[in-house]
Structure 1
Amino acid sequence: MARVLNRLESYYDAVPRSAARAEELGPLTLFVREGEGWPYYARPALGYAGDVSAAEVDRVRARQRELGAPEAFEWVAETTPGLRAAVEASGLTVHEHPLMVLEGEGLAVPEPEGVTVRMVDAGDPVLASAVAAPYAAFGAEPAPTASDQVAARLTAGLTRLAAALDASGTALAAGQHQPVGAVSEVVGVGTLPDARRRGLGLAVTAALVADARSRGVELVFLSATDADVARLYGRLGFRTVATALIAEA
């Protein structure tokens, strides 16, 4: 399991660098978004598993405030066990999420009725709908340039997008995976509220896994919202190997 966690640490350090600059602040790395898009966070420097002080966390938080970035940290509990106490001593709230991996092909899931589940590319007419669906699933509005940003990442090979479409071509659910070498993370899978409980999220995730495997990805992983959602992903063959922690002000 240590080998899997080490591969995930390398991935976590690499994936933000396609759209952010890294500032090394002692034992922590702060990723600063270049241009528009979701803001990034701070996390342990690659290879660092020692203790972190509350003062070192405070230093990063001060830099985040200076930059107008969210005061947020993400890390794996089992890899950097000493960080949580420092983050909580600094006054942040820590949320736990099951960290799950899939090393095989993935288990088959029923094909949802009345929808088409497929990959979406940069020039696809359903792109805007597929980008908007996860935002709506979580009660948010996409930025005006969200589709353009995703299209650019699709063209660059930095992300892959799958959607479950109704007969009119409207996305009812969508999600992405972000490959870096032989590792990829499934992210942002969301289903419109009135289309839930039809297996659309699982079908989208299965399509993302199949696409990742077809591109040579060996290790697919994700962070589930909670234990109930983790059980759903378990139906695809994902298993919990650790705990992803997210700290926010």
Structure 2
Amino acid sequence: MDARIQQSVVANLLTRPAAAQAGPFVLGIDPATTSPGINYATPRPGSEITPAAVTEMVAAFRAADRLPRLEYVTSSAPELEKHLLAAGFTVEARHDYLVCTPETLVVPPAPDGFDLREPATDEQRVAMVNAQIIGFGGDPGATAEDAERMGRLQSRGGVSVMAVAADGTCAGGGQAVPPNDGVSEVAGIAVPPAYRRRGLAAAITARVAAALFAGDGTVAWLEASGPDAGRIYERVGFRPTGKRLYLVLDR
């Protein structure tokens, strides 16, 4: 499963508007944003990694005027971490990833007073991105480029689900990238503080996975940033499967 998950990351990054390759690395570059969560690299699974390849990858990031940063399944490149640390990278995070299949998925009903739907207009997409930003602790500031990015994801077979309160306010959201060989990453599951502890995160996650499985998806995966998030995802059928590593060269 590790190799399938890592290959799905490679495939996703190759869809970025200015995707690049540097030796065994794929860089997902988007000229419309400097966000490190969008502009990052990953190794092709099973590739030989050398210090020279790391140097080439850093140079490609510099040429694109982006911060050198990587996300990857640790077993797909077991020697990579030591080469990155030697080059000055630091570990940003170590996360478990969890996997769900149609056989394990449990879809709870939407919590009372909320409707789960796919954002269909740019106004709705901006509202969803703002709710996600607030849910992750930031200040709302979604742009037309964010709406366009979500629209592209949806048009290519990705999934977006927003929770809407009775007064029309977006109360959270999440999305999944288009499946590659049946595998898709679920990401951005976020609920603003005012709407938490009502089961929205679990319901959004399950609805995203269900939409994937209704199409070409056979495996949905996501990351848990901590035990509390992990319990939410396990409640709807995600199971801990492997490890992912984030590193950054912050200079």
Query: Normalising by structure 2, what TM-score?
Result: 0.86
Structure 1 pair 111–194 and aligned structure 2 pair: CA distance change class (3 A): same
Structure 1 pair 108–159 and aligned structure 2 pair: CA distance change class (3 A): closer
Task: Give the 5 Å matches for 1:68-147.
Answer: 68-94=65-91, 95-103=93-101, 104-109=103-108, 111-121=110-120, 123=121, 126-138=124-136, 139-140=138-139, 141-147=141-147
Q: Are the counterparts in 1 of residues 42 and 71 from structure 2 also a CA contact under 8 Å?
A: yes
1:4-50 Cα offsets, whole Å, 9 max, x none, are 222222211111222234433233232322545754212113441x4
Query: Where in structure 1 are there 5+ consecutive unaligned residues?
Result: none
User: How far apart, in 2, do the equivalents of 1:213 and 1:37 lie?
Assistant: 32
Q: Are the counterparts in 1 of residues 16 and 28 from structure 2 also a CA contact under 8 Å?
A: no
User: Percent identity among equivalent residues?
Assistant: 27
Structure 1 pair 20–145 and aligned structure 2 pair: CA distance change class (3 A): closer
User: How far apart, in 2, do the equivalents of 1:142 and 1:98 lie?
Assistant: 29
Structure 1 pair 113–234 and aligned structure 2 pair: CA distance change class (3 A): same
User: How far apart, in 2, do the equivalents of 1:159 and 1:15 lie?
Assistant: 11
Partner of 2:16: 19
Partner SS, residue 142 of structure 1:
coil
1:143-188 Cα offsets, whole Å, 9 max, x none, are 343123322332x234211011101221111010112242211111
1:128-148 Cα offsets, whole Å, 9 max, x none, are 312321112121432343123
Aligned-pair distance for 1:220? 0.6
Partner of 2:172: 173
Paired residue type of 1:241: T
Query: Normalising by structure 1, what TM-score?
Result: 0.87
Structure 1 pair 239–59 and aligned structure 2 pair: CA distance change class (3 A): same
Partner SS, residue 189 of structure 1:
strand
User: How far apart, in 2, do the equivalents of 1:152 and 1:20 lie?
Assistant: 11
User: How far apart, in 1, do the equivalents of 2:206 and 2:194 lie?
Assistant: 21
User: How far apart, in 2, do the equivalents of 1:158 and 1:238 lie?
Assistant: 21
User: How far apart, in 2, do the equivalents of 1:42 and 1:71 lie?
Assistant: 8
Q: CA RMSD in A?
A: 2.2
Query: Where in structure 2 are there 5+ consecutive unaligned residues?
Result: none
Q: Are the counterparts in 1 of residues 122 and 148 from structure 2 also a CA contact under 8 Å?
A: no
Paired residue type of 2:174: G
Partner SS, residue 14 of structure 2:
helix
Structure 1 pair 40–124 and aligned structure 2 pair: CA distance change class (3 A): closer
Q: Are the counterparts in 1 of residues 46 and 76 from structure 2 also a CA contact under 8 Å?
A: no
Structure 1 pair 180–111 and aligned structure 2 pair: CA distance change class (3 A): closer
